[in-house]
């Protein structure tokens, strides 16, 4: 019977670090086998998850000895924080460990969508040589709008600033005296939608942010503006976004997160045939390097918590 259950992928060195100190079950397939996962966590004092494991309801009821949850990432919408608090279960996210990876994802997709040419490989290989049609735009001189201006958005902001972009941001929760406002203008959400050439989302999924980017707000954007969501699915109305892209009302979009994850063929059908859309499977914060950082951080936090409980 394992003290620690790890039910999604984790860096092997971090797994070995945990196994050296505690009886550890590492099985990334458990996330897709809820009955076996519920049985595995019954004796466990620690559970390590990513974003797919729903730490709530029946799973928490099964985990009668659970003392700590390690989250390999920063979003907590898959964890019932209130229920964990009532049960005295500590929850440790990997705060800051994947900021760089997400920031690079945003900048890379901003470049990709503005430049456009990188999506024309088949046309070039077929001998079409579409130079004029593929003439794109530069980051320099464009306005980046950041919805949410926390640590990750600030990493994006500094990199965008170095590329010569102007910055606007919307974050009613960030104190107006915060140093980050020195490089970004504090604007309303609707104002940001109207001003920006590139919009990047950096907010959690809450009742207040669900469908924050709906058909009305998409309609405020410039016709050639691009939208990047590497935050949380459900913040963007996906059907409205697909319609806007299909109707030529936006320049492009990149989605790393979806209302339904994993994205099914049925839910993904609305995105088919959109050449100005990039879809990735919730990997903005996952690189070889960030996986090591995130895993090592969570291993250390779980070890420290369990050792104080002995």
Q: Just list the catalytic residues.
A: 232, 261, 282
Tell me the C-alpha distance between 170 and 159, whole Å.
18
Q: Residue 100 is encoded by which pair of tokens?
A: 């760089």
Proportion of the chain in helix, strand, coil states, percent, rounded to 5: 40, 15, 45
Q: Is residue 241 within 8 Å of 211, Cβ to Cβ? A: no
Cβ atoms within 10 Å, residue 112: 18
Helices within the chain (DSSP H only): 12-19, 34-41, 57-62, 81-87, 99-115, 121-125, 151-162, 189-195, 215-218, 238-246, 265-268, 288-308
Residue with tokens 């809450």: 206
Q: Residue 24 is encoded by which pair of tokens?
A: 């550890």
| CA separation, residue 135 to residues 62, 114, 118, 122, 138 (Å) | 57, 10, 11, 16, 10
Tell me the C-alpha distance between 21 and 154, whole Å.
37
- φ, ψ of residue 244 in degrees (nearest 5): -65, -40
């Amino acid at each position: 019977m394992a003290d620690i259950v790890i039910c999604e992928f984790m860096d092997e060195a971090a797994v070995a670090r945990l196994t050296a100190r505690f009886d550890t079950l590492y099985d990334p397939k458990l996330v897709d086998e809820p009955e076996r996962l519920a049985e595995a966590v019954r004796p466990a004092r620690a559970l390590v998850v990513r974003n797919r494991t729903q730490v709530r309801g029946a799973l928490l009821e099964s985990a009668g000895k659970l003392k700590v949850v390690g989250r390999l990432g920063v979003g907590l919408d898959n964890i019932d924080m209130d229920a964990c608090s009532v049960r005295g279960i500590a929850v440790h996210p990997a705060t800051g460990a994947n900021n760089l990876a997400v920031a690079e994802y945003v900048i890379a997709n901003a470049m990709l969508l503005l430049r456009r040419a990188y999506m024309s490989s088949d046309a070039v290989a077929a001998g079409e040589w579409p130079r004029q049609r593929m003439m794109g735009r530069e980051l320099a001189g464009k306005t980046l709008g950041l919805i949410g201006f926390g640590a990750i958005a600030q990493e994006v902001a500094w990199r965008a600033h170095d590329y010569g972009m102007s910055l606007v941001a919307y974050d009613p929760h960030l104190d107006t005296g915060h140093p980050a406002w020195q490089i970004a203008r504090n604007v309303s959400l609707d104002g940001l939608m109207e001003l920006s050439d590139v919009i990047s989302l950096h907010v959690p999924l809450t009742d207040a942010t669900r469908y924050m980017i709906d058909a009305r707000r998409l309609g405020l954007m410039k016709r050639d503006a691009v939208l990047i969501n590497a935050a949380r699915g459900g913040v963007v109305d996906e059907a409205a976004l697909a319609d806007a892209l299909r109707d030529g009302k936006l320049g492009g979009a990149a989605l790393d997160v979806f209302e339904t994850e994993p994205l099914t063929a049925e839910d993904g059908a609305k995105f088919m045939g959109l050449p100005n859309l990039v879809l990735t499977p919730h990997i903005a914060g996952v690189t070889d390097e960030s996986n090591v950082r995130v895993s090592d951080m969570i291993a250390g936090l779980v070890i420290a918590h369990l050792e104080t409980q002995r």
